[in-house]
Structure 1
Amino acid sequence: MNASSFDKLIVQEVAPRDGLQIEPTWVETADKIALINALSIAGFTRIEAGSFVSPKAIPALRDGEAVFQQIERHPNVIYVGLVPNLKGAERALASRAGELNLVMSASQTHNRANLRMSCEASLMAFGDIVKLVKGSSQATLNATVATAFGCPFEGKIDEDRVIGIVDTYREMGMQGVTLADTTGMANPRQVARLVTRVLERLPTAALTLHFHDTRGLGLANVLAAYEAGARRFDAALGGLGGCPFAPGASGNICTEDLVNMCDEMGIPTAIDLEKLIALSRGLPALLGHEVPGQLAKAGRNCDLHPVPEYVLQI
């Protein structure tokens, strides 16, 4: 790595939304709020706090308004809401979301499975949301390109198509763009190539990478994107998450595993790792099952163990 590799890596926490949306066990509203409040003091600048999707589609997040209305807001944290359509945008603005995240797949098939509409229909809906938000100084807009690195139905995605969607988003007035590896199909060389092309079109601060660890390449893809110039990354506490409408989808890259890797490599994040580990270790009791993250189980490299008695006797 060269000197520029030690620029700050910005971690954006998505567990309260992307992490919890696929959980079969209902997480009480008060527990969601407590989790977000704890994350708010851990050093994040963005937390995806909930969703304004139809409760029938994502019942695990049906309390989006209550969550946004009751969390303790920190001045340095932007609280993001996932928005599927104009009605969802209106709900998000009424709930004082600081950023609205819109999602469309690069894959027509996945977009129909996920959103029940074509990509063209999604873009038309985005246009209505842009008009709504332009009248409000309260919120910014981020648009996600889902399945940007591969689709579980269509396979490889043409990179030129992804670039075209990025260009369309920027022309529509989106302040931020996320490239999402929705089902963990990306590889590091592919990531580096696409990130390089995208950063020729928009500022570094406007790009976020969203990786899943479905095939064990999540952190490797982070490093590839980082070395290609990306600086913003989504991650989920405990490695929670997965797309409910994508076969074989598994969790996001794990926040504490990512922050630990950065700490070990000397890449600053400004995230309190000890707070993350403590929160992650509480997830199994909250959710009723173990979580994929590794660091909370193994501990940090600096967490040394007592020397066995038999060694001392040798």
Structure 2
Amino acid sequence: MTDPSSAPVVDLVEVGPRDGLQNEARTLSVETRTALVERLVEGGVRRLEAVSFVRGDRVPQMADAEAVLAGLTPRDDVALIGLVLNRRGAERAAETICDELNIVLPVTDDFATRNQGVTVEQGLEHAAAAVEVARQAGKRASVTLAVAFGCPFQGQVPVAQVARVVERVADLGIDELAFADTIGVGVPSQVHALAELVRGDARVPGLRFHFHNTRNTGYANAWAATTLDLSGHGGRVSLDASVGGFGGCPFAPAATGNIATEDLLHLLRRSGVPVEGADVDALGSLVDTASWLSGELDSPVQALLGRAGDLLGGAAS
């Protein structure tokens, strides 16, 4: 068990309503997607990626983002994130109740051209424009570096290649930088190597990671993130997770689900790691939401907590 006095704080970011849905065969209605967000909030989630402002003809599961948000009641204690790829997406998000714009920027040309139709250099221009829109709208801005741990088309991605993109992004005036293991090939040593790129960099006040469990290393990577030197980031690290372990990228072959919110929270709770952005004592609600979502998607829950149960009343020894 981790000593709570020395443990970092993990800020949970629930990405189920976005990444959890975008690779599923069944497209949910606006009402069902709104209900998913509401269920997660009722279950204690306080920061979540609710929608994606992308083209509905390319990712139909993410169509009608404005309508999903319009069905929600704004809450001061809940931060809603909208994913964007460029200025146009940012302008759409800026007109909604989103509190934060998360700009996705791949670090390889191979993935960037297939995913967004641009090179990395062009993507950097789009990211700069989107950050500008967010700032003008008074909203937070974060950038997620996709395929930072490995690319399905290029293969290995050297840390030096990621570093060149980080250096450019850090000058955009962002609130948070995320490293994404888009296809689930990462290992803990990479978590440390990528974090080292921004350690002590005042231009990157917030650090975040996005892990998939494709090769069963997602939770090991999440644990590695809690062992980093986070003194330059306020002693905090943000971790993405998806209720039920749903998720994947439609432009990344064989990509499977994110690490599951309920499984991650069980790990952190039992280890004595402080968590914000979610209620670690309400895991039953998340398990119920995952089961409900499984029925709506006609897709099995990937998380394990619902099958094995949680020792909610037990000692975290």
- What whole-Å deviation, never above 9, does each CA across 1:252-277 have from its counterpart, x for those lacking one? 00000000111111222252322212
SS at match of 1:256: helix
Q: Which of 1 and 2 has higher RCO (CA within 8 Å, sep 6+)?
A: 2
The residue identity in structure 2 corresponding to 1:82 is: L
* 1:104 match: 105
Quote the Cα distance in structure 1 between the aligned partners of 2:3 and 2:160. Answer: 29
Unaligned runs of 5+ in 1: 305-314
Task: Map 1:16-35; keep pairs closer than 5 Å.
Answer: 16-35=17-36
- How far off is 1:63 after superposition? 1.6
Q: Distance in 2 between matches of 1:303 and 1:23?
A: 35
Distance 1:31 1:55 in 2: 17
1:41 CA displacement: 3.0
The list of structure 1 runs, each at least 4 consecutive aligned residues, that deviate by more than 3 angstroms after superposition, is 1-5, 202-205, 301-304
The one-character-per-residue Cα deviations of 1:141-170 (angstroms, maximum 9, x if unpaired) are 111100111111111112122222222112
Q: Quote how far apart the aligned CAs of 1:2 are.
A: 5.8
Aligned to 1:184: 184
2:233 aligns to what? none
Sort the Cα spacing of 1:244 and 1:3 in 2 relative to 1 into closer, same or farther, 3 A.
same
Q: Which residue of 2 aligns with 1:265?
A: 271
Q: 1:248 aligns with which of 213, 236, 254?
A: 254
Specify the alignment match of 1:51 in structure 2. 52
User: Residue type matched to 2:292 in 1?
Assistant: G
Q: Paired residue for 1:239?
A: 245
Q: Does 1:292 align with 2:302?
A: yes
The root-mean-square deviation of aligned C-alpha atoms, in Å, is 1.9
Equivalent in 292, 303, 310 of residue 282 of structure 1:
292
Q: What does residue range 76-115 of structure 1 map to in structure 2 within 5 Å?
A: 76-115=77-116
Answer with 28-37 or 264-273: which moved more.
264-273
Q: Any conservation in 2 of the 1:179–1:208 contact (CA below 8 Å)? A: yes
Q: Relative to 1, partners in 2 of residues 1:4 and 1:111: Cα closer, same or farther, differing over 3 Å?
A: farther
Matched, 1:174 2:184: no
Bigger mean CA offset, 172-181 vs 224-233? 224-233
TM-score (ref. length: structure 1) = 0.91
Tell me which residue corresponds to 1:163: 163
Q: Distance in 2 between matches of 1:134 and 1:10?
A: 22
**Residue of structure 1 in register with 2:234 after alignment:** none
Instruction: Quote the sequence identity (%).
Output: 35
Q: Which of the two has higher C-alpha Rg?
A: 1
> What is the TM-score normalised by the length of structure 2?
0.90
